[in-house]
Structure 1
Amino acid sequence: MSGRGDSEISETRKERSETPEGDHAEVPADAETLDDVQNPAGDGEDPAEDTEDPAEDTEDPADDEEDLDDPAQVARRARWTAAVTGVLLALAGLAASTLRATGSAPALVPAAYGLGAAVCALAAFLGSRGRTRRALWLLVTGVMVMALGDQFD
């Protein structure tokens, strides 16, 4: 779309119907409008309109985009995601630490799970305060500590 108005588009269509020498193309004598010249069958349909635009049938997508593009909404969603993910990983680390401590694993394994869980809990706290980038890196670090501790088993 070039941003032209309707009047400029109709002028452009008229210019296209002319030959390069400036002579007009053959126009049927009963053609009343430019559409009749382009579609001499006169069935009232423009051949370019055969394809349907699915966006015309749906509701205005700008309403949904306003909610998604709102910076406050995006920040709130990031905080919730960081906090919930941190809490879930911390709980998983604590559960794994407890299970490994009751088993015959070396003491380093449950300690690694506990340390990873503590790092994830710190990430959840920072994420809830809006420090989502730091929370992401702490979540990655916490999971890596847990995975490293699992290698000692």
Structure 2
Amino acid sequence: MSGRADSDTPPDTHAEDPEGLEGPEDPEDPEDTGEADDAEGDARRARWAATGAGAVLALAGAAAALLRLTGPAPVLVPAAYACGAAACALAALLGSRGRTRRALWLLVAGLMVMALGDQFD
């Protein structure tokens, strides 16, 4: 072999496909569990994870905003918690619609806003 990317082995050295090793004949065979099923399951789990994490963090942020609102904290603190909770709620909505990457970044941004608001307390 010359090592070039366009080089190919001579035709007499190609392996012949023994009977049955190629795979199923029918691509619509229900017995065939391929990578498409795995990718679909991964996408479904990612949507559920983004939706669940967004909902939980939105509820936690809303509860923290209400608790900080009733206390002696400056107004900026509950406002930051409320904005972070709104961002997490939007992330839950995006996650349920399959926009999991954007939902992840929005969750991170919402948590950062909540953490920044906590620093003013």
TM over 0.5: yes
Alignment of 1:130-149 (within 5 A): 130-149=98-117
Q: Paired residue for 2:43?
A: 75
Q: 1:102 aligns with which of 62, 65, 70?
A: 70
Q: Which runs of 4+ in 1 moved over 3 A?
A: none
State the Cα distance separating 1:66 from its structure 2 match: 6.5
RMSD of aligned C-alpha atoms? 1.8
Q: Paired residue for 2:95?
A: 127
- For residues 25-80 of structure 1, give each alpha carbon's deviation from its aligned partner in whole angstroms, at most 9, with x where no partner exists: xxxxxxxxxxxxxxxxxxxxxxxxxxxxxxxxxxxxxxxx979x711100000000
Higher relative contact order (CA 8 A, sep 6+): 2
Q: For 2:73, give the aligned amino acid.
A: A
Q: Using the alignment, how far apart are the partners of 1:66 and 1:139 within structure 2? A: 32
- For residues 93-145 of structure 1, give each alpha carbon's deviation from its aligned partner in whole angstroms, at most 9, with x where no partner exists: 00000000000000000000000000000000000000000000000000000
Q: 1:117 aligns with which of 85, 93, 97?
A: 85
Please, what TM-score do these two structures have when normalized by structure 1?
A: 0.55
* Structure 1 stretches lacking a partner, 5+ long: 1-64
Paired residues in the alignment total 89
Identity of aligned residues (%): 72
Q: For 1:137, give the aligned amino acid.
A: W
Alignment of 1:53-64 (within 5 A): none
Q: Using the alignment, how far apart are the partners of 2:46 and 2:57 within structure 1? A: 16
Q: 2:57 aligns with which of 82, 89, 106?
A: 89
Q: Using the alignment, how far apart are the partners of 2:40 and 2:81 within structure 1? A: 35
Q: Using the alignment, how far apart are the partners of 2:59 and 2:51 within structure 1? A: 12
Q: Using the alignment, how far apart are the partners of 2:77 and 2:34 within structure 1? A: 48
Q: For 2:39, give the aligned amino acid.
A: P
Please, what TM-score do these two structures have when normalized by structure 2?
A: 0.70
